Structure 1
Amino acid sequence: MNQTEELQPEVLDVTIIEPRLKHPTIFARFDALLPGAALIIHNDHDPKPLYYQLLGERGNCFTWNYLENGPQTWEVEIRKNETGEQAQTLGEIVAKDLRKAEVFKKLGLDFCCGGKKTLEAACREKGLDVLTVRAELEKPQTVPAAAQHDFGSWSLAFLADYVVNVHHAYVKTNLPMLLELSEKVAKRHGGAHQELITVYNKVTAMGSELLLHLKKEETILFPYIKQLEARANGQDVPLTFSSVKEPVAVMENDHDIVGRLAEDIKALTNNYTLPENACNSYGLLFKKLEEFENDLHMHIHLENNILFPKAIALEQAGS
C-alpha cells in the first residue's frame, strides 16, 4: 500500500458502537493513525465532549473539522498532526488567511500582540468555546482589501517597505489629528464624561511610544533585516549587529505596550459607543480611534506574525 492510500481518511460509524465503548474505540483508532492521517467519525449528535476529552488526554496533536453539523447527522474529521507539528497560533491562522482577522476582532481575540497563543489557549482565557470559534472561522468571510495581498510570499525588504509606506505613514499622518481631537473633546466634555480625560492621556502616551518605535524600526531593525536578506541572496553586505532576535524582542515589547493602551482606550469608550447627543467632534474622535486601532492591528500583525518570524528563520538558516 502506498503512502497516499495509507493517509486516506477512515470512517467510523459511532452510532453502531455500544455506548460504553464509543470513546475508547475512537481513542484507539486515533492512536493508530499515522501522522497526517485522519479519522472521520459519523454520529447522531454533536460529539463536542469528545473534542475536550481528546484535547485533555492527547494534547494539541490533532485538528478537528466539522464536515456535517446536524441537525440529524454529524461528521467530524479528526486529523493527527504531522510529527513535530504544533497547534496553530492566532497569528499563524491570520497570516495564512487574513479574513480570519475579522472573526477574531468580533470575538475580542488578540491576533497581533497575542498572536503567539494557540486558539485553544486564547479561547480558554476569554471563556469562549473553542469549537464554536472554529465553526465561526470556517464560515465564508468578507474579503478585506488587504487580504488581496499574499504578504507571506513577499521579500522581507519589500514587506518592511510596505509597513513603512502604509502603516508608519498612517500613524504619522493621523496621530496629530487624533491628539488634537482627543484633547478638544476632553476639554469640552470631560466634566460630564471623566473617561475622556483618561482617553486623551492614553492617546498621548500611545503616540509618544509609537513615534519612538517607528524611528527604531526605520533606522535600526528594518535596515538590518534588509542586510540579512541581501547576504542570504549572495551579496557581500556587512551586518550592523550580531543578531536580529534582540531588536525584535524590543519591538514586540513596544507592541505590547501600545496594544495595551489601545485596549484601554477601547474599554474606556465602551467599544467606541457614543453617548446620546454627542457632538460632531465627539463622533469624529470615536471614528478615528476605531480606525487607528484597526490599522494598528494590521501593522502589528504584519510584523509580529510575518516579518519578524521570517527574519529570525532567515538568520538561523544562515548561521
Structure 2
Amino acid sequence: MQTIAENILDVTLLEPRQKHPTIFARFDHLREGESLTIHNDHDPKPLYYQLLGERGNIFSWEYLEQGPEWWKVRISKNITGAGEETLGQIAAKDLRKAEVFKKYGLDFCCGGKKSVKEACADKGLDVTKIEYELQQVDKNPGARPLPYDDWSLDFLADYIVNTHHSYVKKTLPDLRAYAAKVAQVHGEMNPELLVIYQLVEKICAVLPAHLEEEENALFPFIKALATEKHAAANPGTLGHPVTVMETEHEMTGKALEEIRTLSNNYTLPDSACATYSLLYRMLEEFEGDLHLHVHLENNILFPKALALEKQ
C-alpha cells in the first residue's frame, strides 16, 4: 500500500522525549499492509532495534533517503500469515541478491532457511544495512540471472548434473592432488595447509558418492514425478533421501567455510609458489560453484519436488 499524506511523520518537529512514543503509537494504529514514513535529521537505526525488541518481527523497514540532511524510512506493518522470506527463498527469486549474502558471509544455500534478521543476528551484522543493499538490487535495472526458479524440475535436474556435477567430477581430482602437494611442500611453514588438505580429503570422501546417489536414484525419481510417470504409491518417499542430501551439503559447506577461515579468505603468503596460488584459486572457485549448486537443490529443486509429491 502506498504511504498517504496522513502516514508521514516529521520527527524533527517533536520534542526528543516524544519521538519514539509518538512513532510507536502511530505504528500501532496501522492496519496490516499499511505504512508509516518517518522523516528525521539523522539515521533512526536505534528505532529499528527498539521496534523489533518491543513489537517483534512484524514490520519491514525501507530506507527511502539516507542523508546527509534527511533520513526517510518507510515502516510497513506485515500481513499476518504472510511469513518472512528466508535467505534461500530470496536468492531463488533473484540470484543477484545472493551476492549481497556472499559479501557478508551469510549462508544462503545450506543455511538458507533463516530469515535475513535471524542470519544477521547470528553473525552480529547490521540488518538495516543489508536489507538496504537488498532493496537497492530491486531498484537496479541491470541484467537478471538465469531464471532457475521458472524451469521445470526435470530440466533443472539435468542442468545441475550437466553443469555442476560435471564441474565437481572434473575438479576434485586436481584439487586433491594440489592440496596434497602444497601441504607437503609448505606445510611446515604454514601448518594450516595440513588442515586444509584434511578438509579437502573429507570433501573428496563424500561428494563422489553423493553425486552418484543423486544421478542414479534421487534425480530420476524427481524427473519421473515431474513428468507424471511416477504414481506416488508411498507418499513421503522423497523426505528421507532429501534430508540425507541436505545433511551432506551442510557438511561440505562447513568444510569449505573452515578452509576459507584457515586461509584468511584465500590470502597468499609471500612465500607462495605457483601451485600454492593455483590451489587457493581453485578452492575459491570451487566454493563459489558449490554455493550455487547447493542453492539450486536446497532452495528450488528439493522444495518443489516435495510439494509436488504431496499433491
Q: CA deviation at 1:60?
A: 1.6
**Residue 118 (str. 1) matches residue 115 (str. 2):** yes
1:158 aligns to what? 155
Aligned match of 1:252: 246
Change (3 A) 1:241 1:292: farther
Q: Give the equivalent residue in structure 2 for 1:149.
A: 146
CA contact (8 A) 2:179 2:200 kept: yes
Aligned 1:56-71 pairs, distance under 5 A: 56-71=53-68
Aligned residues: 306
Q: 1:144 to 1:175 in 2, by over 3 A?
A: farther
Going from structure 1 to structure 2, the CA distance change for 1:76 and 1:296 (only over 3 Å counts) comes to: same
Match of 1:46 among 37, 43, 46: 43
Aligned counterpart for 2:295 among listed residues 301, 307, 315 = 301
CA contact (8 A) 2:32 2:77 kept: yes
1:137 matches 2:134: yes
Cα pair 2:94 2:145 within 8 Å, conserved: no
User: SS at 1:84's partner residue?
Assistant: coil
Contact 1:227-1:239 within 8 A present in 2 as well: no
Contact 2:218 2:241 in 1 (8 A): yes
Report the secondary structure of 2:227's partner residue: helix
**Identical aligned pairs, as a percentage?**
57
Whichever residue aligns with residue 226 of structure 1, its letter is K
CA distance in 2, matches of 1:289, 1:227: 35
Tell me, yes or no, if structure 1 residue 221 matches structure 2 residue 215. Answer: no
TM-score, normalised with respect to structure 1? 0.89
Q: CA RMSD in A?
A: 2.1
What does residue 8 of structure 2 align with? 11
1:12 positional shift: 1.9
Identify which of 79, 90, 96 aligns with 1:93: 90
Corresponding residue number in structure 2 for 1:182: 179
Q: Which residue of 2 aligns with 1:4?
A: none
Q: CA distance change for structure 1 residues 126 and 266 in 2, over 3 Å: closer, same or farther?
A: same
Inter-partner Cα distance in structure 2 for 1:271 and 1:118? 25
Aligned AA (1:67): L
For residues 202-230 of structure 1, give each alpha carbon's deviation from its aligned partner in whole angstroms, at most 9, with x where no partner exists: 11110121111111211222122223222
1:168 partnered with 2:148 = no
8 Å Cα contact 1:99-1:143 kept in structure 2:
no
Q: Which residue of 2 aligns with 1:278?
A: 272
The alpha-carbon deviation at position 199 of structure 1 amounts to 1.2
Structure 1 unaligned residues grouped into runs of 5+:
1-6
Corresponding residue to 2:230 among 233, 237, 251: 237
1:113 deviation in Å? 1.0
Structure 2 portions without partners, runs of 5+: none
Cα deviation, 1:175-234, whole Å, max 9, x if unaligned, reads 111111111111222222222122111111101211111112112221222232223xxx
Q: Helix, strand or coil: the match of 1:33?
A: coil
Deviation of the 1:66 alpha carbon: 0.2
Contact 1:61 1:86 in 2 (8 A): no
Q: What amino acid does structure 1 have at the position aligned with 2:30?
A: L
Contact 2:232/2:309 (<8 A) preserved: no
Aligned to 2:166, the other structure's residue is in SS state helix
Equivalent residue letter for 2:167: Y
- Equivalent of 1:21 in 18, 22, 31: 18
Q: CA deviation at 1:242?
A: 3.2
Distance 2:270 2:217 in 1: 47
Amino acid at match of 2:33: G
> What residue identity is the alignment partner of 1:304?
N
Following the alignment from structure 2 to structure 1, what is the Cα–Cα distance between the partners of residues 134 and 185?
Answer: 42
TM-score by length of 2: 0.92
What is the correspondence of 1:184-223 to structure 2 with a 5 Å cutoff? 184-223=181-220
- From 27, 32, 43, the equivalent of 1:30 is 27
Q: How far apart are 1:140 and its partner, in Å?
A: 5.2
